[in-house]
Structure 1
């Protein structure tokens, strides 16, 4: 397919319109064929022909699949030009591969409830967080989903399905859901602070915070986020703070200093957002990796600890987070089914939450991503900042009447 683009390069550069170029750029950016830096480089052209030349050269150098996807987008954007270039016999780009259906995977489509006997068996075990029926009745979760952005090209198509699926799962797990949609970074911060003062927190066994948006390493993007202006461009908003919410703020607002109500209670975070713009794969040789032999770090006990009768608490404890991908990489979403992360979480929780603790559930979600391999799409969620000292079970469907 790269050869096809090479053959029509001259006619494409001469005939493509500015409107078609803009639409093609938005589409290939959304499909991760190019990144923001590459798009900016294309837009630096002084004329439409220079932009077109840079666009087609950038894409065809990325190989057959990228070229095929651009040709398919051209068919949708400008059917006349598509036909005039003689591309009508080119098969459309294959759709993004989808995970096998729940039935094919042998998983439940609804949350399987735990049993009263299982819950009773776990009570009073020192390595398990206690959950009473009164605690269960006071569960509360925060759900924030950014779908529509000020810059329309950043809209997260398919995120509506994520919001629907996440809300249903949280409700099925016994949580009262506090839901927000399309927030700026400041509004996200305000929502987390308000949530930290929820009256149910003193009586709950756990909280869940689910935030879904675009993101960068360490931050979640608000709906007013804009990319930095290109060199030599100026704007009145250049000195404004970027619309970015630091993920660290969640730990601060729900930690013991600002939220003592959640002291020793389980705090579960799920973040569906990119953490960079790199692909989640590398090319490996067949040569096995050589393990290092640095050994374990030694531990020297402190002998001079004194007690001044002041009570202290760990600055951060009883948290566990699942981030949608590894640092600096992207996460993926299907426009009609939502993100792979939320799909796999729902599948795994529906089937296994009745008997598995939260760390095992997250491990099984990660395993789903290891099993799911298609073309050059790779994504691996990451358990992050886990400070759980015991095992936490959801006990879905526990009879609390």
Structure 2
């Protein structure tokens, strides 16, 4: 496993964490409630920190809430720093007020930046958001609307091409499909799934998805397409050199735009494309003194409507392409990499980042964390690329509501 850097988002510094838990033990036992204890037990069971037997023993062998809390924190202390870090992180997600009252929101005295580079413990299950965080964000005016009914009606499209007629099979892509489906379902999306489609069938699937009955009720959609590819296109499973079988990525935007899919007007449309965009590697060798060239042309004057000549015809115009954001697995003309067993690095990193941070971060900050992991590990220069971003507000998944 790669060992990325610890950010200061909500994980405490490991300085030691055993001492941190010992310091707050008394107050934790006095203040934590039964609901939070059960949530922490579920979280730690999902992470593999606790076994089923340990969870059951904490609940069944202790009568009072305080005894359950005391038993839980003592077991976690014995398991070491990694387990302690996970419990502190889950406590923050479940009850940020108690986390703050216990004094866990701060690390040690300020350290030099180099000394702050510690390891993140990536959650293996989706950390849920809190009701308080959701209410704060939906009221701030900077966040896309997301009530509980719309969250319950979420729907996503997942297309994975694994076997090909004229190209090599995508070994490990079945793991990508499994991991992405699990993540989407945990985020509250009903997943419409297809495997091994031709380019035309991919187009049909996206078009059919644009007419899904739940789109009127959902707060957002996610579209994931994973296959071989080239610049601007995803390859269908019948592709070979003599008979191209292709799906233009631009068709996603056409089928889901305001004109062709009015049910998604003003709703975020999040797109993930795992596919090569060319045959080049995304890395170069630089010598000292390499020059920098800026070919950006000067922008022209802004285009403004002549308001004096506009009349009201009892109709309105809307932006044809709005509320999209897309994360592609590589920059233009470059290749993407995939582990033969564990699947694509993009999907692995998306799952890690979303499981750990979707409870508190909006979509673009999540994207940035994914790209940061590629920067840290430098996998043959592969760098994901955000494209055609037209979101006008922050979008949060609010997992667990």
Q: Check whether TM > 0.5.
A: yes
Tell me the distance in 2 between the aligned counterparts of 1:378 and 1:342: 17
Q: Look up the match of 2:277.
A: 275
Q: Look up the match of 1:397.
A: 400
CA RMSD of aligned residues (A): 2.0
Q: Deviations over 1:17-64 (max 9, x none)?
A: xxxxxxxxxxxxxxxxxxxxxxxxxxxxxxxxxxxxxxxxxxxxxxxx
Q: Deviations over 1:137-180 (max 9, x none)?
A: 100000000001123x5210000000000000000000000000
Cα deviation for residue 289 of structure 1 reads: 4.4
1:205 paired residue among 219, 237, 240: 219
Cα deviation for residue 227 of structure 1 reads: 1.4
SS at match of 1:265: coil
Tell me the distance in 1 between the aligned counterparts of 2:192 and 2:349: 22
* C-alpha contact (below 8 Å) 2:4/2:376 kept by paired residues: no
Tell me the distance in 1 between the aligned counterparts of 2:375 and 2:399: 26
| TM-score normalised over the length of structure 1 | 0.68
Cα deviation for residue 301 of structure 1 reads: 6.0
* C-alpha contact (below 8 Å) 2:325/2:387 kept by paired residues: yes
Matched pairs, number: 286
SS at match of 1:154: coil
1:341-356 matched pairs, under 5 angstroms? 341-356=346-361
1:114 paired residue among 129, 135, 152: 129
Asked whether 1:250 is paired with 2:252, we answer: yes
1:204-223 matched pairs, under 5 angstroms? 204-223=218-237
| TM-score normalised over the length of structure 2 | 0.68
Task: Specify whether residues 303 and 381 from structure 1 end up closer, same or farther in structure 2 by C-alpha distance, changes over 3 A only.
Answer: closer
Tell me the distance in 2 between the aligned counterparts of 1:194 and 1:211: 15
Task: Specify whether residues 300 and 134 from structure 1 end up closer, same or farther in structure 2 by C-alpha distance, changes over 3 A only.
Answer: same
Cα deviation for residue 290 of structure 1 reads: 4.2
Tell me the distance in 2 between the aligned counterparts of 1:356 and 1:184: 36
Cα deviation for residue 317 of structure 1 reads: 0.2
Task: Specify whether residues 195 and 293 from structure 1 end up closer, same or farther in structure 2 by C-alpha distance, changes over 3 A only.
Answer: closer
Asked whether 1:175 is paired with 2:177, we answer: no
Unpaired segments ≥5 residues, structure 2: 6-81, 83-118
SS at match of 2:310: coil
Q: Look up the match of 1:266.
A: 268
Task: Specify whether residues 121 and 205 from structure 1 end up closer, same or farther in structure 2 by C-alpha distance, changes over 3 A only.
Answer: same
Tell me the distance in 1 between the aligned counterparts of 2:381 and 2:282: 5
Unpaired segments ≥5 residues, structure 1: 1-97, 229-239
Q: Deviations over 1:343-382 (max 9, x none)?
A: 00000001110010001100110011000125xx120000
Q: Look up the match of 2:66.
A: none
Tell me the distance in 2 between the aligned counterparts of 1:198 and 1:179: 13
